[in-house]
Amino acid sequence: MRHWVFLVGLNLLAAGRVIDFDALPPGAMPPGWTVPRSDPGPTAQWEIRKDETAPTQPYVLAGNQFPLAILDGVMFRDGDLSVRIKPVAGQASGLVWRYADPRNYYLVRANAADQTVSVLRVQNGQPAAVLASVKYDISPNAWSILKISARGPRFQVYVDHRRVLEGHDGAFTAAGKVGLATIAESYFDDFRVNPR
């Protein structure tokens, strides 16, 4: 199976990796991912789809509703996460890190509806607290690269390799899982995990 490509090193937890979703059958959730349920709302839907505009052809991971997709088997505290995002329905796409459970995690979100990039903390199941936010042009139906760089309580956010936001928060200090998030419908490609 070709969807794991190791970028550096032989230690699987220390090595950087990229997931491009291209060796997987369309129409199904990729193996090794979990879609958590934290409320009685509609069931989240994630599946592999073909997209002729995908940066890495031919497939992407598509999510809709307001779901998370969490990558199993990788624990991440400090390092870099990035993904190519395409907010298909003109809403928001994001990255999740230090995920403990559906009620506790960090999220960086690029929102094409209100043209913002924000870092949020979900803690004890309470509504997301905005830790930092900035106005930034996020094009709907177009591909961008969203990246979070986390070191202890500090974080930096990049869009298309340009730093747009930084801040700090000490609520979650332990390693946690990583994943993807969407509001409405988004496509994702080239998900990179590089722990440090």
Residue 1: the pLDDT is 32
* Domains contained in the chain, number: 1
Number of Cβ atoms within 10 Å of the Cβ of 101:
13
What is the DSSP track for the chain? --SEEE-S-S-TTTS-EEE--TTS-TTSPPTTEE----SSSPPPEEEEEE-TT-SSSSEEEEEESS-EEEEEEEEESSEEEEEEEE-TTSSEEEEEEEEEETTEEEEEEEETTTTEEEEEEE-TTPPPEEEEEEE----TTS-EEEEEEEETTEEEEEETTEEEEEEE--S--S-EEEEEEEES-EEEEEEEEEE-
> Residue 97 falls within a domain, yes or no?
yes
Give the span between the Cα atoms of 134 and 169, in whole angstroms: 17
- Between the CA of residue 2 and those of 24, 40, 108, what are the distances in Å? 8, 35, 28
> Residue 40 falls within a domain, yes or no?
no
> Residue 9 falls within a domain, yes or no?
yes
> Residue 36 falls within a domain, yes or no?
no
Residue 80: the pLDDT is 97
pTM for this model (two decimals): 0.89
> Residue 106 falls within a domain, yes or no?
yes
The pLDDT tens digits along the chain (196 residues) read: 333 332 222 233 345 789 999 988 999 999 999 999 755 555 668 999 999 999 999 999 999 877 899 999 899 999 999 999 999 988 999 999 999 999 999 999 999 999 999 999 999 999 899 999 999 999 999 999 999 999 999 999 999 999 999 999 999 999 999 999 999 899 999 999 999 8
Give the span between the Cα atoms of 128 and 107, in whole angstroms: 9
> Residue 57 falls within a domain, yes or no?
yes
CATH number at residue 10: 2.60.120.560
> Residue 37 falls within a domain, yes or no?
no
Provide the domain limits for residue 9.
Answer: 4-30+45-195
